[in-house]
A and B are shown apart, each in its own frame.
Chain A
Amino acid sequence: MKKILLIIRREYLTRVKKRSFIVMTILGPLLMAAVFVVPIYLATNSNEMKNVAVLDQSGLFFEKFKDSDNIKFHYITEDLTTAKENFPRSHDYALLFIPKTELSLPENAIIYSSGQVNINVKSYVSNVMSRQIEELKLEAKIRDLQPGTNVNSTTTDILKSIKSNVDISTIKLGSNGEEQKSYPEVSMVLGMFSAVLIYFFIFMFGSQVMRGVIEEKTSRIIEVIISSVKPFQLMMGKIIGVALVGLTQFMLWVILTFGIVTIATSAFTGKLKSSLPNEQVITNQGQSFHADKLAHASHPANTNQEGVNEVFSAINSIDFPVMIGSFLFYFLFGYLLYAALFAAIGSAVDSESDTQQFMLPITMPLIFAFVTAQYIIQEPQGPLAFWLSIIPLTSPVVMMVRIPFGVPVLQVILSMILLLLGFVGTTWMAGKIYRTGILMYGKKVNYKELWKWLKYKN
């Protein structure tokens, strides 16, 4: 035990002291920003035809929703309760509800659906609504214009005042009618982000383990060391040491990113506060207007606050203990599962250029999981998502995509148990290959040879 600690310590310290580690620690947070943007862009591409029922109680949007390439709208007139009851049987993709408002134009709408709402549908609805609202506001303004006023000076005022910000909340309708607010963007970003992180972590640090093993083999220090410790101890010491390097890097990333975000937002909110009182006045004035001139009332301040609230409640809707807990689990065990395999490859070759033929079968499932993650995010409860999140080689990446959308506990437990077993299995197998491989020099190794090593007794 004392020896394995010595090995972990060496593996950890030599890596943390490297210049490349420090560079990556600084570049990481920048990379993360890029990682946030890409999946959102990718998720907007979907071809399936979606039927959306529109329940417009305000009556302002009748026939305004034009069918697009993959969204079809149809209008319904029943009350909300019945509509929600009928929804599961209607085969509609979503139910759009625009409530009747008394004092201002409706700038809030709710989309009910059985699953997560596609980001295209949401932005399409939001666009149509804000265009229509802006049109209505503009009409009202023009009607109000007194003849003889200086048009030039009011144009900008008018354009400013008609600007509207439509808020759409999405609510998941369970099959038994229960409601659950859902926020696809937040879930998507979180799911994709953790999946990407796990993918990179496994790749980066898995190949670090492999390079470490090759270094020991080519420098011929391996035999000196295994005359002091068991090969398995050396392998595990290296894997754990590198895992700690990864966790250290991750923690530093979190702290750095958090620092950057805090600085950025505190500067931003400072600006926001200074502009608030002004807008409050406008709102108060707006409320005194006549009902058919609702359009005069704009609610920039309210909208801002609602936007902030929305994000907050979205973040609150994520079950963070579950999220963080499962992230750490898949982060760690996903890495451990693969690291042992990487170590085995390193032991079987004499130089890094020989690793190609063995790398493929190991990286394939990982890359496959990563690529499919972009489809799984659109259908997090589908059969592909289910199977890939159960199979140990793909589960660390795929399960993390699904977790923010809510996964049945039983599936998570099954997936975790299988991952644990997978880890024990690959490590046992890798240990056998490693033990033989590290003592083989100058031998061209193929799969048949590896199979033979697996069967050696000691």
Chain B
Amino acid sequence: MDLFTATNVSKTYAAHKALDKINIRVPEQSIFGLLGPNGAGKTTFIRIVNRIIAPDEGELIFNGKKLGPEDIGKIGYLPEERGLYKKMLVGEQALYLAQLKGLSHHDALIKLKYWFDKFEIRGWWNRKVEELSKGMQQKVQFIVTIVHNPKLLIFDEPFSGFDPINVNLLKEEILSLRNNGSTIIFSTHNMGSVEELCDHIALINNAKTILEGNVNSIKKTFKTNTFEICYTGYDEDLRNILSSGENVILQEKEDDHFKATVQLPAGLTTNSLIREMILHVTLQSFNEIIPSMNDIFIRTVTEKHTISPNLPLN
């Protein structure tokens, strides 16, 4: 079941096409990575989801219905460009923003106190925002984004400005939000956190979706049947002993052993490779090289329309 779908969404600014028939499906209770290089149209898309701007064409379905003004209270948005009123008191400001999302004063107060305690910033309630450190302000912003229990959360580069300890705190929070029923759209350039957190991704480039789907299946399609093998006992060219059409990409001596990267031709199983090898060498390790999201990102974006997933990476 998809919580949110965008079908053929386009947006044009004067002469510049920001989104060109974008199609995105965000499954319920998933963490959805929205990826793409700078200027690809991610922010425009996120603003459309938040109803900050309206698309020129296309359909947006949220929770089974057309996305409408009443849905604003069910969405939480942490923009990349974020800030707070500097002269306002922290608590007062959090209350204001929570009420703007539709919470009553009473509910907002109870929920904010809970989260302020959880993030250990209760003592800052009556301080001015300008007295807070950047990380502290980010915590306040994060709380304000999630305080109204939105069904859909949109985080745009949520980890920027946090130290590693707080990044972990935040990751845990994001995962527990997902586990408690929220759906999360997560936009970032940090591919490490995409691999760690995302179940699904969409890659936008030049105003178009160029890749979309489950992270594992995307990785599968980008697998190139390439393996990294460490061995000892044979110091000549591996090509001499591999005769079934294997492509030896790399072979080097590393400390007391050799390391080789070998791509198998279609149809050849790993077992037959091992069988060929163990006649001459002593195997130390044998791993399939799974493309990282980083590799996939760079490859799809730089090669644009000529994606042929089965060529070796690097």
Give the interface of A toward B (CB within 8 A): 3, 6-7, 10, 14, 215-216, 219-221, 223-229, 231, 439, 441, 452, 456-458
Alpha-carbon gap, A219 to B81, bound state (A)? 9
Q: List 23 A-B contacts (CB under 8 A).
A: A6-B96, A14-B87, A14-B88, A219-B83, A220-B79, A221-B83, A221-B84, A221-B85, A223-B82, A224-B83, A224-B97, A224-B144, A225-B100, A226-B52, A227-B75, A227-B79, A228-B97, A228-B100, A229-B100, A439-B47, A439-B52, A439-B53, A456-B14
Known: A216-B85, A221-B83, A229-B100. 17 other contacts (CB 8 A): A6-B99, A14-B88, A219-B83, A223-B79, A223-B81, A224-B141, A224-B144, A227-B51, A227-B72, A227-B77, A228-B72, A228-B102, A439-B53, A441-B81, A457-B54, A457-B56, A458-B54
Given A219-B84, A219-B85, A220-B82, answer yes or no on A227-B97 (Cβ-Cβ < 8 Å). no
| A225-B97, A228-B97, A439-B47 given; A219·B52 CB < 8 A | no
Q: How far is the CA of A391 from the CA of B13 in the complex (A)?
A: 35
Grouping DSSP codes into helix (H, G, I), strand (E, B) and loop, the A interface class, with mixed when no group exceeds half, is helix
Whether B151 is near chain A, meaning CB under 8 Å from some CB there, is no
Complex-state Cα separation, A10 to B87, whole angstroms: 12
B residues in contact with A215, CB < 8 Å: 85-86
User: Provided the pairs A223-B79, A226-B52, A458-B54 are in contact, do residues A3 and B84 lie with their beta carbons within 8 angstroms?
Assistant: no
Report B76-107 CB contacts with A as 1/0, cut-off 8 Å.
01110111111110000000110111100000
Instruction: Verify A452–B14 contact, CB threshold 8 A.
Output: yes
- Nearest opposing residue in chain A for B13, CB measure: A456
A211-B51 Cα distance, complex, nearest whole Å: 26
**Which single residue of chain B is at the shortest CB-CB distance from A228?**
B100
Q: Mark B160-173, 1 if CB is under 8 A from A, else 0.
A: 00000000000000
- List residues of chain B with CB within 8 A of the CB of A223: 52, 77, 79, 81-82
Lowest 8 CB-CB distances: which A-B pairs, in order?
Answer: A220-B83, A458-B54, A219-B83, A228-B100, A223-B79, A227-B77, A227-B50, A220-B81
User: A439 — which chain B residues lie within 8 A by C-beta?
Assistant: 47, 52-53
Q: Given the complex of chains A and B, what is the CA–CA distance between A228 and B85 in angstroms?
A: 16
Range of interface residues on chain B?
20 to 34
Determine the chain B residues whose CB is within 8 A of the CB of A225 once the complex forms: 97, 100
Question: Closest A-chain residue to B72, C-beta based?
Answer: A228
Q: Which residues of A contact B145 (CB under 8 A)?
A: 224
- Chain B contact surface mostly: loop
Separation in Å of the A395 CB from the closest CB of chain B? 35
C-alpha gap A219/B47 in the complex (Å): 18
Query: In the complex the two chains form, what is the Cα distance from A229 to B100 in whole Å?
Result: 7
CB neighbours of B100 from chain A (8 A): 3, 6-7, 225, 228-229
Shortest CB-to-CB span from B177 to chain A, Å, is 17
For A6, list chain B residues within 8 Å (CB): 96, 99-100
Instruction: Give complex CA distance A220, B160 in Å.
Output: 15
Q: What's the least CB distance linking A5 to chain B, in Å?
A: 10
In the assembly, what is the distance between CA of A3 and CA of B97, in Å? 10
Q: Is the CB of A458 within 8 A of B53?
A: yes
Q: Is the CB of A228 within 8 A of B101?
A: yes
- Chain A residues positioned under 8 Å from B77 (CB to CB): 223-224, 227
Which residue in chain A gives the minimum CB-CB distance to B44?
A: A439
Task: Give chain B residues whose Cβ lies under 8 Å from the Cβ of A452.
Answer: 14
Tell whether, in the assembled complex, residue A10 and residue B96 are in contact, meaning their CB atoms are under 8 Å apart.
Answer: yes
Expressed in whole angstroms, the Cα–Cα distance for A387 and B83 within the complex equals 47
> Considering only CB atoms, which chain B residue lies closest to A14 in the complex?
B88
| Best-surrounded residue of B47, B52, B53, B141 (most CB of chain A within 10 A) | B52
Report the separation of the CA atoms of residues A432 and B97 in the bound assembly, to the nearest whole angstrom.
Answer: 24
For B47, list chain A residues within 8 Å (CB): 439
Q: How far, in Å, is A73 (CB) from chain B's closest CB? A: 65
Look across to chain B and name the residue whose beta carbon is closest to the beta carbon of A18.
B87
Chain A residues with CB under 8 Å of B56's CB are: 457
In this complex, the member of B13, B77, B83, B101 whose beta carbon has the largest number of chain A beta carbons within 10 angstroms is B83
Minimum CB–CB distance from B248 to chain A (whole Å) comes to 50
